[in-house]
């Protein structure tokens, strides 16, 4: 817990400057990206990065994503190959994280990489994140700004409810437009999908001209979001529900007449943007059993189903 109240900061020059000062002082600052709110720390400061793990209650073997202002900054941290060049050129800034070999002189805390010789890095596409990175003038380690394993935050209110007494500052940039974490692709050897996310797999494969390998081991994560149980609301989750059992509340999709519907029209982009918001709403309602309508497993539906499967997994 912090010894001073969390500073609520606006997206204006004064607020961004204060956020950057807090980061330089080794403090934690939450800020919005187009995907979800991130919990930022100076990626070169061991103690500050350790504070991320402590604030979130996050396992130290689970690596963090580093956010940078532009592709040039990323090349100073990592070695890029032709596949990484192609993907970053097409999707940065945006909801794509690349896992790349770490340069020996990058200066990134080993706590960020969980001791691995690779780094997860991305260039976010959000005006607040962009201004924050420019003001800080360095790499920012930033996992989602929520207690580990719980529902990711897509508004400042979500962050304050989950971590408000554990961080120094929060920049309010409104609701996150994508609403799902970034897609993660490793470009070390053959490109491999480590986590489905805000950019559909089909778009990445079209850019590369080849299919992505599927590389995932929940026991030894090489990137964020690979733990078997993750993104979990307080209530138990049952997937692919075509009926509602006693005591359940339905999280709908498509032509289902319920108060909480990811997208009544079956729009996967709308569903992705609403997923974490609706899970937070179910928590606020005190729901103990959640049934979820079937979600098509293509495009952004792949990422939505990934989050829901992890939310429904047995809790550690």
pLDDT tens by residue, 107-123: 999 999 988 899 999 99
Q: What is the pLDDT of residue 294?
A: 97
Together in a domain, 153 and 276: no
In this structure, are 149 and 259 located in the same domain?
no
pLDDT of residue 237: 94
Which domain-ending residue is among 184, 214, 244?
A: 214
Q: What was the pLDDT predicted at 102?
A: 97
| The predicted structure's pLDDT at residue 108 | 97
Number of CB atoms found within 10 A of residue 264's CB: 15
Residues of the chain with pLDDT under 50: 218
CA–CA gap between residue 69 and residue 112 (Å, rounded) = 18
Q: What is the C-alpha to C-alpha distance for residues 222 and 119, in angstroms, rounded to an integer?
A: 9
Cis check: omega of the bond before 93, within 30 degrees of 0? yes
Domain span at residue 270 reads 236-312
Say how many domains are in the chain: 2
Final residue of a domain: which of 153, 183, 214?
A: 214
Mean pLDDT of all residues in the chain?
92
What confidence score (pLDDT) does residue 229 get? Answer: 52
Tokens of 175: 């609701």
């Amino acid at each position: 817990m912090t010894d001073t109240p969390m500073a609520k900061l606006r997206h204006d020059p004064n607020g961004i400057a204060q956020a950057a000062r807090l980061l330089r002082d080794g403090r934690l600052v939450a800020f919005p990206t187009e995907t979800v709110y991130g919990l930022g720390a100076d990626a070169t400061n061991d103690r500050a990065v350790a504070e991320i793990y402590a604030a979130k209650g996050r396992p130290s073997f689970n690596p963090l994503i580093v956010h940078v202002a532009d592709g040039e900054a990323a090349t100073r941290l990592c070695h890029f190959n032709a596949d990484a060049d192609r993907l970053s050129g097409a999707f940065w800034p945006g909801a794509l994280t690349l896992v790349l070999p770490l340069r020996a002189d990058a200066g990134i805390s080993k706590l960020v990489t969980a001791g691995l010789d690779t780094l997860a890095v991305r260039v976010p596409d959000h005006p607040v994140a962009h201004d924050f990175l420019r003001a800080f003038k360095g790499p920012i380690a930033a996992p989602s700004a929520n207690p580990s394993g719980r529902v990711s935050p897509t508004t400042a209110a979500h962050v304050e409810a989950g971590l408000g007494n554990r961080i120094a500052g929060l920049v309010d940039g409104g609701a996150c437009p994508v609403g799902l974490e970034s897609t993660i692709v490793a470009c070390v050897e053959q490109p491999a999908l480590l986590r489905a996310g805000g950019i559909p797999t089909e778009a990445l494969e079209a850019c590369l001209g080849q299919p992505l390998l599927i590389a995932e081991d929940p026991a030894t994560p090489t990137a964020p979001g690979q733990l078997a149980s993750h993104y979990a609301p307080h209530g138990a989750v049952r997937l692919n529900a075509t009926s509602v059992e006693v005591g359940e509340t339905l999280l709908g999709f498509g032509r289902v007449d319920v108060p909480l519907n990811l997208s009544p029209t079956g729009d996967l982009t709308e569903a992705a943007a609403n997923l974490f918001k609706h899970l937070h709403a179910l928590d606020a309602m005190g729901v103990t059993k959640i049934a979820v309508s079937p979600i098509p497993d293509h495009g952004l539906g792949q990422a939505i189903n990934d989050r829901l499967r992890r939310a429904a997994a047995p809790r550690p």
